[in-house]
Structure 1
């Protein structure tokens, strides 16, 4: 999907005018889609990630659509990067009202074959990096000014076969979301999470092509009988960051088409009749899927 194409949004114009948002892992995929929507709705955004080229391309796309965006190179596995990245984001935007912890990474592997180095890398990124990024945002700005945080996790409610490392990490973030919501509510901070199911996103391109058919088949185990879209995840994130969710904190919203409630007594059937929410107008109209 081009970074310069227009986006579909159900939210009113200028909803986030005067707000500043940091999106980790913001150069591609779901993170970029969230950043584009927040910028479209008036927020100043910082896209953080490890690859400057991708970040600058994403920023250029948002700028071409009239949004205000900045790039900050930051590896959330490094404490110094987190501290300096948060400080630079606040400097660029003049504050930090909204945080989307989207950065993450994993690789498919049977549990018995996951090496210690690979395990540590996934835990450090998905769990540890998420915690310390949020902690630094709290210390540098949100403790005094309040804010809203959304953590992106995953559908790991029935375990996560072939992804034991990220399943454990994302389950940790689910609990972390509840804990921080309890501890920091007194400071005017709301913290929630979004758990996407199988989403048609650029991240799938990194998997072995032989794995793709299995992913597509698994994506039929929900009531929509398809993969979700980046736009559908971004809409959920945008809602939780918005004033409409001002009475919601400490929850995880599952954006999975009902995959997490799959039951063998009533499996999904047919081609699925639920509409698709996507950026391409024709897809929205005819309900077709990627």
Structure 2
């Protein structure tokens, strides 16, 4: 199989379902060797088996992005197995939605840990391999919620934080041939948005219909829409694009 990521290794956190799986699929289809870590053992195994059946080269491991030793061990194994880590996608995420007055310490800290500490640990580990090679692509998955979203003070703060993290790493790592960018999805049909519908006490179809009514292009997003933006940033030809945030939301976001 040949493609624009032939010979490259893409490491995706939280890659066993939803947006992460869509990103993994795009890289694998275009020739990359792919690696994923996830805490969801069942989904991870399903995705691994599915990719192997399709003939893709895949590494997977049950690991938490919030544990430095687990992240470091997984990346070391990937590096030893595949010879490099060229692309890192910080995708792992959770939601603990609630209005501020009902939000618990745990709701806040869990979301901060997975999104921010997770991206920090994975990026810090991956950059060692990338600096050594003089090449790398780091793509962080933010969200339109970074601009503010009712009931998501924790998630919005974490996703906004990822944008500041992106811009700072772009400044620090650019001289080593590493670009750092972020993709901020709008409404995407995933397991996570199904959880949102449940929290709101409506069906998923009702949520989709409501969301689409506010999306200029008149449809909801799919994981492959996000994967398309991620692969643009990951492309070798995108070496002059760094520190950017692209909103993939079916319309403008400010």
TM-score, reference length from structure 2: 0.92
What is the Cα deviation at residue 13 of structure 1? 4.5
- Offset from partner CA, 1:121-144 (integer Å, 9 cap, x none): 1000011111111011113x1121
CA RMSD of aligned residues (A): 1.7
Equivalence for 1:177: 166
Match for residue 104 of structure 2? 115
Counterpart of 1:142 in structure 2 is 130
Contact 1:44 1:93 (8 Å CA) reproduced: yes
Q: Give unpaired runs (5+ residues) of structure 2.
A: none
TM superposition outliers: structure 1 runs of 4+ over 4 Å: none
Cα distance in 2 between the residues matched to 1:185 and 1:33 = 27
* CA–CA separation in structure 2 for the residues paired with 1:190 and 1:67: 26
Alpha-carbon separation, structure 2, partners of 1:204 and 1:258: 19
Please tell me whether the aligned partners of residues 208 and 220 of structure 2 are also in contact (alpha carbons under 8 angstroms).
Answer: no
Secondary structure, counterpart of 2:84 in structure 1? coil
SS in 1 for 2:37: strand
Equivalenced residues, count: 249
Given that 1:76 and 1:129 are in contact with CA atoms closer than 8 Å, whether structure 2 keeps it comes out as yes
- Normalized per residue, the structure richer in helix is 2
Distance of 1:184 and 1:244 partners within structure 2: 17
> C-alpha separation between the residues in 1 aligned to 2:209 and 2:117?
30
Structure with greater contact order relative to length (CA < 8 Å, sep ≥ 6)? 2
Is the deviation greater in 200-209 or in 221-230?
200-209
Q: 2-side partners of 1:214 and 1:42: how far apart?
A: 36
Q: Give the Å deviation of 1:70.
A: 1.4
Aligned residue for 1:200, secondary structure, equals coil
- Secondary structure of residue in 2 paired with 1:67: coil
- Aligned match of 1:154 in 140, 143, 146? 143
Deviation of the 1:158 alpha carbon: 3.5
Aligned position for 2:234: 241
Q: Which residue of 2 aligns with 1:257?
A: 250
Residues 201-232 of structure 1: CA deviation (Å, up to 9, x unaligned): 22223335314435641342121122111111
Confirm or deny: 8 A CA contact 2:139 2:233 kept in the other structure: yes
SS state at 2:147 partner: coil
Match of 2:57 in 1: 68
Aligned-partner Cα distance in 1 for 2:112–2:147: 19
* Cα distance in 2 for residues equivalent to 1:53 and 1:214: 27
Q: Give, in whole Å, the separation in 2 of the partners of 1:62 and 1:220.
A: 35
TM normalised by structure 1 equals: 0.81
Q: Which residue of 2 aligns with 1:163?
A: 152
Q: Deviations 1:210-259 (Å, cap 9, x if unpaired)?
A: 14435641342121122111111111111110123121000011100115
Q: Does 1:100 align with 2:93?
A: no
Which of 31, 39, 44 is residue 20 of structure 2 equivalent to? 31
Unaligned runs of 5+ in 1: 1-11, 262-290
CA contact 1:72–1:89 (8 Å) conserved in 2: no
Contact 2:4–2:30, Cα closer than 8 Å, also in 1 = yes
